[in-house]
Amino acid sequence: MTSASPEELLSDLDRLRRQARTARHAYWFPLVLFGLLTCASIPFYVSDVTQAGVGVAVLRPTSPPSLLGGEMPGRNGILLGWYWALALTAGYLLSYAWYRRHQRRVGLRTPARAFTITGIVLAAVAFLGPWLAANLSLPYQLIGLPVGDLWVRGTFAFLIAAAGLWVLAWAERSRALALIALAYTGAALLASLYNVANLLAMLGWSPGYGSASARLAELPNVLLPALVLLAAGTGAFFRRPGRGRA
The total domain count for the chain is: 1
- Work out the pLDDT band at 154, boundaries 50, 70, 90: confident
Q: Is residue 111 part of a domain?
A: yes
Higher-pLDDT residue of 86 and 17 is: 86
Check residue 151 and give its pLDDT. 81
Higher-pLDDT residue of 67 and 148 is: 67
- Work out the pLDDT band at 158, boundaries 50, 70, 90: very high
Helix 156-172 and helix 28-40, axial crossing angle in degrees, nearest 10: 170
Average pLDDT score over residue span 141-170: 80
Rounded CA-CA distance 244/71 in Å is: 47
Over 90: is that where the pLDDT of 243 sits? no
What is the percent of the chain where pLDDT is above 70? 61
Q: Is residue 195 part of a domain?
A: yes
Residue 205's region, left for phi above 0, alpha for psi from -120 to 50, else beta, is: beta
- Work out the pLDDT band at 6, boundaries 50, 70, 90: low
Q: Is residue 16 part of a domain?
A: no
- The alpha carbon dihedral of 227, 229, 230, 235 has a sign of positive
Check residue 136 and give its pLDDT. 66
Helices (H), the chain: 6-24, 28-40, 42-46, 77-106, 113-135, 156-172, 175-193, 219-239
Check residue 13 and give its pLDDT. 41
Residue 17 CA: distances (Å) to CA of 20, 171, 177: 5, 15, 18
How much is the pTM?
0.77
pLDDT tens digits, one per residue of 30-81: 999 999 999 999 988 875 544 444 443 444 434 455 788 887 554 577 888 8
Higher-pLDDT residue of 17 and 108 is: 108
Average pLDDT score over residue span 151-163: 91
Q: Is residue 6 part of a domain?
A: no
Residue 227 is part of which domain span?
Answer: 25-57+64-239
Q: Is residue 19 part of a domain?
A: no
Q: Is residue 2 part of a domain?
A: no
DSSP-assigned beta bridge partners for residue 60? 63
Rounded CA-CA distance 210/219 in Å is: 16
Q: Is residue 153 part of a domain?
A: yes
pLDDT tens digits, one per residue of 171-228: 888 899 999 999 999 999 999 988 887 776 666 666 554 455 556 677 889 999 999 9
Tell me how long the chain is.
Answer: 246
Q: Is residue 84 part of a domain?
A: yes
